[in-house]
Amino acid sequence: MPPGMRHTAFLLLLACGGATPAATTTPTEAPADAQAVDVPSGDLAAAMAGPHRTEEERARDVWRHPAETLAFFEVAPGKDVVELAPGGGWYTKLLAPLLRESGSLTVGLPDGQYGDRFRAMAAEAPHLYGHVRQGRLAPPEAIELGEPESADVVLTFRNTHGWVRNGVERQVYEAAFRVLRPGGIFGVVQHRAPEGSDLDIASGYVTEAAVIEAATAVGFELVERSDINANPNDTHDHPDGVWSLPPSLRGEGDNARFVAIGESDRMTLKFRRPAS
């Protein structure tokens, strides 16, 4: 099937259900909550419009393209999905309702404040996140994402630069490979440096070639690249790296030119664990 037709088919799959695979870890219990908001399961459009998302989160849809990105990574109801280092939970708020009744979601949580963000979300809204399984992503000490070959998709959004900086990228990628079933998808979105550039890793940018080399070194095969999350207006030469740009706008003074650029230029790479 041509790539364009595959992409359309996966968009349609996001609205459909499927058989629920066996659990890989013990889900957190979800206490009854009279204030529970209604976010239908298995419907990405409903999750995107849901009252559990803030206006600021919805405003980022134009830059992060969640429907197209998740379709490209073959995420659909019925899949067992692992999200690595979910940060503030921007994608988790979409994945959790999408997979609540058909499939599963596991979040690989770092120790400390970045893992605490999700734990606070789950405590405050168990009706939304109580079913999400919590793994541990604390390299080099430990990575616990579930049983080997228990996931269909592993996702990472804008995390690879940190793993490279800390010297643990290979360990994380190996863990992603182990938890995937043969034929499973490893989806990477990462701030993209121009090929051949010598940008400091502290800028947050990494070249596509470096990510592809790291993934293939642990056994993945590159399936497809996409410019879904590309931004040709990003000049990649900001004083505070990617954090000069929205949504961080970390620099001082007039940020109008950074707002005009928009969010960072990002690669979107789909890898597969070989079927044999």
pLDDT in tens, 205-230: 999 999 999 999 999 999 999 999 99
**Confidence at residue 14, expressed as pLDDT on a 0 to 100 scale:** 41
pLDDT at 12 over 90: no
Mean pLDDT of 172-190: 98
Residues in contact with 53: Cβ distance below 8 Å, sequence separation at least 6, in sequence order: 93
Which domains does the chain show, CATH number per domain?
A: 50-272 (3.40.50.150)
Residue 15 three-state SS: coil
* DSSP label at residue 242: G
To the nearest 10 degrees (0 to 180), the angle between helices 208-217 and 169-179 is: 60
Spatial distance between the Cα atoms of 123 and 216, rounded to a whole number of angstroms: 38
Identify which of 201, 200, 195, 215 has the alpha carbon closest to the alpha carbon of residue 270.
215
pTM, entire model: 0.86
Spatial distance between the Cα atoms of 276 and 95, rounded to a whole number of angstroms: 28
Q: List beta partners, residue 189.
A: 157, 268
| Residues listed for the chain | 276
**Confidence at residue 276, expressed as pLDDT on a 0 to 100 scale:** 80
Identify which of 50, 43, 49 has the alpha carbon closest to the alpha carbon of residue 70.
43
Confidence grade of residue 177 (pLDDT, cut at 50, 70, 90):
very high
The CB density around residue 240, as the number of other CB atoms within 10 Å, is: 16
Mean pLDDT of 172-191: 98
Mean pLDDT of 8-20: 38
Contact status, residue 72 vs residue 10, Cβ threshold 8 Å: yes
Confidence grade of residue 104 (pLDDT, cut at 50, 70, 90):
very high
Residues in contact with 109: Cβ distance below 8 Å, sequence separation at least 6, in sequence order: 85, 86, 115, 118, 119, 134, 135, 136, 137
User: What sign for the dihedral angle of Cα 263, 269, 270, 272?
Assistant: negative
**Confidence at residue 36, expressed as pLDDT on a 0 to 100 scale:** 61
The number of angstroms, rounded, from the C-alpha of 33 to the middle of its chain's C-alpha atoms is 28
